[in-house]
Amino acid sequence: MAKFKFSLNFLGNRAGSVLNSQFRHQVLATLTVCILTFSHGVGLGWLSPTLSKLQSDSSPLDFPVSVDDASWIGSLLGLGSLLGNIVIGFLQNIIGRKACIYILALPHIILWVLIYCAHNVDLLMIGRFLGGFTGGGCYVVFPLFISEIADASIRGTLSTMLMLSVNFGVLLGFIVSTHVAYHIIPFCIVTLPIAYLLLALIFPETPQHLLRKKQYISAEESFKFYRNCDADNKQKCNEDFDNLKSLIDNRNEGGSVSYKDFVTTDALKCFATSAVLLFVNQFSGIFAFVNYMTNIFENSGSSIDPNTCTIIMGVLQIAGTYAATLFVDIFGRKILMLWSTGGMAVGLGAFGAYTFYAQTIDLSKYSFVPLLLMAFVVFVGNMGLIALTLVLLVEIFPVKIRPICASASMAILSFLVFAMLKLFPLLMHTFGISITMWFCAVVCGSSYLYLLIFLKETKGKSMDSD
């Protein structure tokens, strides 16, 4: 017991630990926004087992859901996310991060109300679209919000907590939609965004946004709140705030953003890297697997119950993103992304090979292999591609064009989400599971080579200066 207490005290006092009391308000603010990303994750995980139920003879609803309807229910998340990216990306620099964070709960509440009240497939589609809007808005404003309030030594850890909370939600969605009655789920989950609305009132706007609006007194109060300033570190807090104020004032004096800021050598390199990150994030298949995991295992030749496999994958998603939170501020972003893309290329290639040979050779005594291979794919995929893509899309861009480029990147990502969720079941149906997995493996392998050569490490990079 004494050793345990000593370990906690050591972790809490270590300069770069999230348990350090200096970072208390940063951590609490991050945990608050994670309530909404957790609820969003429940909505994502809810879909996979629920679609199978809605298309079965024992559907809990009194209207049919066709294959085409199911594909639209799945893919409309991407279109809603695209709109969320655009709207929140536009508003976050006008009304501020805090206001955007607050209003994002409203469409998510409506999602669960529509699921509960659904008497035709259109209401499910509208709800899914609104759920996508919340997710798209979250992926734009939450990483930027966290990057602005977080100390550089813990920024990676706090940022990866977003996807960790999503994956906890996905796991809960898998479990409850498999074992809990359809109408009980939305009745319970809608309490999460309502609780989030109440807790979000506590935290102030980011000091950076307030400084850009020349609200200096509010900015200083916000800065001292997030840095948990007290008498012991008052002088350092004042110095750090003056430095931040000077940086932002100088940037404001440098003029507004122009097209020339987007065609510099550094900016163009960032655009190329972001394009690769966006493409591999979706066409690796790692997000599509979440939505269609049950169908994948039904077609893989595994003898294990598909819903059980899906729940196991949910656990491994959490394990992967949790590993990222532990290692991202120790080893950096680049090595985790290389491990993720390289590992997925190998795992997906092997998964495709197994399903290919299983069509002509009796591999029934090895029916556990698809579960093991997909477990590896999901773990390494979440450790890098899922946990760190949003972090990198905020960190890699020059500070002057960062908000615009991050928002545009999220909009492109949302379109790719829609495209992949719409195409994935069609690829599975037209070309079969083996070729689909090999295609995803090639995408991962090619991206590995690009990131190995061109991705710059952003660990410890200042978010207020280039």
CATH code where residue 285 lies? 1.20.1250.20
Whether 7 is covered by a domain: the verdict is: no
Q: Are 57 and 110 in contact (CB under 8 A)?
A: no
> Smallest Cα–Cα separation from 206: which of 135, 100, 107?
100
> Smallest Cα–Cα separation from 407: which of 78, 81, 85?
85
Tell me: do 269 and 339 sit in the same domain: yes
- Residue 255 is predicted with a pLDDT of 58
Tell me: do 274 and 216 sit in the same domain: no
**Which residue would you say has higher pLDDT here, 258 or 354?**
354
At 353, is the pLDDT very low, low, confident or very high (cuts 50, 70, 90)?
very high
- Residue 29 is predicted with a pLDDT of 94
Q: Name the packing angle between helices 333-357 and 286-300 (round to 10°).
A: 20
382 secondary structure, DSSP code: I
Q: What share of the chain has pLDDT > 70, as a percent? A: 93
Tell me: do 332 and 441 sit in the same domain: yes
DSSP 112-124: HHHHHH--SHHHH
Tell me: do 385 and 458 sit in the same domain: yes
| Percent of the chain that is helix, strand, coil (3-state, to 5) | 80, 0, 20
**Which residue would you say has higher pLDDT here, 54 or 169?**
169
Token pair recorded at residue 352 = 């495709």
Whether 165 is covered by a domain: the verdict is: yes
Whether 244 is covered by a domain: the verdict is: no
- Residue 263 is predicted with a pLDDT of 80
Whether 251 is covered by a domain: the verdict is: no
Tell me: do 155 and 284 sit in the same domain: no
Whether 341 is covered by a domain: the verdict is: yes
At 10, is the pLDDT very low, low, confident or very high (cuts 50, 70, 90)?
very low
Whether 224 is covered by a domain: the verdict is: yes
Instruction: Check whether 455 has a pLDDT greater than 70.
Output: yes
At 253, is the pLDDT very low, low, confident or very high (cuts 50, 70, 90)?
low
Tell me: do 183 and 106 sit in the same domain: yes
Q: Are 307 and 180 in contact (CB under 8 A)?
A: no
Instruction: Check whether 135 has a pLDDT greater than 80.
Output: yes
| Half-sphere exposure at residue 228, Cβ-oriented, CA atoms within 13 angstroms | 14
Tell me: do 323 and 189 sit in the same domain: no
Tell me: do 169 and 287 sit in the same domain: no
Within 10 Å of residue 213's Cβ, how many Cβ atoms? 14
Tell me: do 220 and 303 sit in the same domain: no
Q: Name the packing angle between helices 121-149 and 402-454 (round to 10°).
A: 80
Tell me: do 322 and 180 sit in the same domain: no
- Residue 466 is predicted with a pLDDT of 56
> Which of helix, strand or coil describes residue 65?
coil
- Residue 2 is predicted with a pLDDT of 46
Instruction: Check whether 398 has a pLDDT greater than 80.
Output: yes
Which range of residues forms the domain containing residue 351?
265-465
Q: Are 304 and 297 in contact (CB under 8 A)?
A: yes
Instruction: Check whether 196 has a pLDDT greater than 90.
Output: yes
Instruction: Check whether 11 has a pLDDT greater than 50.
Output: no
Tell me: do 290 and 220 sit in the same domain: no
Q: Are 75 and 149 in contact (CB under 8 A)?
A: no
Give the mean pLDDT of 440-454.
96
pLDDT per residue over 362-390, tens digit each?
A: 777 888 888 899 999 999 999 999 889 98
* Total domain count, the chain: 2
Whether 97 is covered by a domain: the verdict is: yes
Instruction: Check whether 4 has a pLDDT greater than 50.
Output: no
Whether 254 is covered by a domain: the verdict is: no
pTM reported for the whole predicted model: 0.78
**Which residue would you say has higher pLDDT here, 233 or 455?**
455
